[in-house]
A = this chain, B = another copy of it.
Amino acid sequence: MGTVTIQEVAAYAGVSSATVSRVLNGHPRVSAELRERVLEASRALGYQPNRVARRLRIGSSTSDVVGLIISDIENPFFISVVRGVEDVAYANRLSVVLCNTDESPAKQQMYLNVMLAERVGGLIISPAPGSDYQELDRLRQKGIPIVLLDRRAERYDFDTVQVDNVHGAFMAVSHLIELGHRRIALIGGTAGLTTARDRYEGYRNALEKAGIALDKSLIKQGDYKKASGYQLTLDLMQLREPPRAIFVANNLMTLGTLQALQELRIRVPQDVALVGFDDMPWSGQLCPPLTAVAQPTYDLGQEAGRLLLRRMPDRDAAAQTIVLQTRLIIRESSGARLDKEPRHE
């Protein structure tokens, strides 16, 4: 027992199930008396429509659940993005279900199947490296609006929300150059992700503009996880001539770098200057407070939510890309001279 069906409500109220449905969905053509009886019956029995049956009948179009597939839930960046999406969704009476692929294409495929199976009303996804965009395209063709988050698809035309990674990285590295550094290492991001490529490009642009030659031995490729930042920093510091400054392409790797330097008893910024990509709420309480390229993470989520909301009504408008700007927050780790009352928030 447990579930009560529309039939039982109808029987209880002495009407047909069609009438019950009409009342509950606010159809105009129902007499006040029957409406009252139905509502009463519905309340008395504690009726909750079976949404599975409902969606089967209606089709995907009206699901008020949107899926949000992120690639690393342990990254505070995505958490903040999620909050942005949630707030926009909640304001529009939509529910958000979140799935975490852990940067694994296999898990991503699994969750895409879930999304398709549940016939969500829309989907926001930050694709895992090595994603099968054709698969995403298939979902879209089956009528699920899709917005890409943070990472572009190269040869497909999806709605996308991202930041200007090239410029962000450029600012970070230029900042180090202005402070007099010329041997600046890069701990780069995951191969195959547009963010990694873009941040690498920003790094190169900054060096090039300053007339500094690229030194391959100072360029490491990580995977956006803390452990790789840790390990690659150890590697860098074992070079015959270690760098005096490091630009790390994301926040988690920066934490690894910080830990490695701390364990090596290397002082930041005196011995090595450090700038990270992507700020965190506690970056100012780290030791030392971290200079970082802040992304408008929450806005990113909001924009993605809004874009999806716009897309849900008309499925086949032209795809659109929204690019938000980053901002360099200068704290102590880069070694810049700070004003006397530092406002690390």
Contacts and interface: CB of A to CB of B under 8 A. Distances in A.
Q: Taking each of A48, A95, A110, which has the highest tally of chain B beta carbons within 10 Å of its own beta carbon?
A: A95
A219 interface: no
A279 to B, nearest CB: 13
Given A73-B82, A90-B107, A96-B99, 13 more contacts: A2-B141, A2-B143, A52-B117, A52-B118, A73-B98, A74-B80, A98-B100, A118-B118, A255-B282, A255-B285, A282-B286, A285-B286, A287-B287
30 contacts: A1-B141, A2-B143, A46-B138, A48-B116, A50-B117, A51-B117, A52-B52, A52-B55, A52-B56, A53-B56, A56-B56, A65-B114, A65-B118, A73-B82, A73-B98, A74-B80, A79-B79, A82-B100, A95-B111, A96-B100, A97-B97, A97-B99, A118-B118, A255-B281, A255-B285, A258-B282, A259-B284, A262-B284, A287-B287, A287-B289
**So how many copies of this chain end up in the complex?**
2
A223 interface: no
4 closest cross-chain pairs (CB), A and B: A51-B117, A287-B287, A98-B98, A97-B97
A102 interface: yes
A83 interface: yes
Interface of A: 1-3, 46, 48, 50-53, 55-56, 65, 73-74, 79-80, 82-83, 86, 90, 95-100, 102, 107, 110-111, 113-114, 116-119, 138, 141-143, 226, 255, 258-259, 262, 281-282, 284-289
A83 B79 contact: no
B95 A99 contact: yes
Contacts of A142: 2-3
B95 A97 contact: no
A166 B282 CA distance: 28
A79 B75 CA distance: 9
Contacts of A258: 282, 285
A244 to B, nearest CB: 21
A53 B141 CA distance: 20
Contacts of A99: 95-98
Contacts of A65: 114, 118
Contact of A100 (B2, B86, B111): B86
A93 to B, nearest CB: 9
Contacts of A53: 56
A79 B86 contact: no
Contacts of A97: 97-99, 114
A107 B83 CA distance: 13
A63 to B, nearest CB: 10
Nearest to A86: B100
A284 B282 CA distance: 13
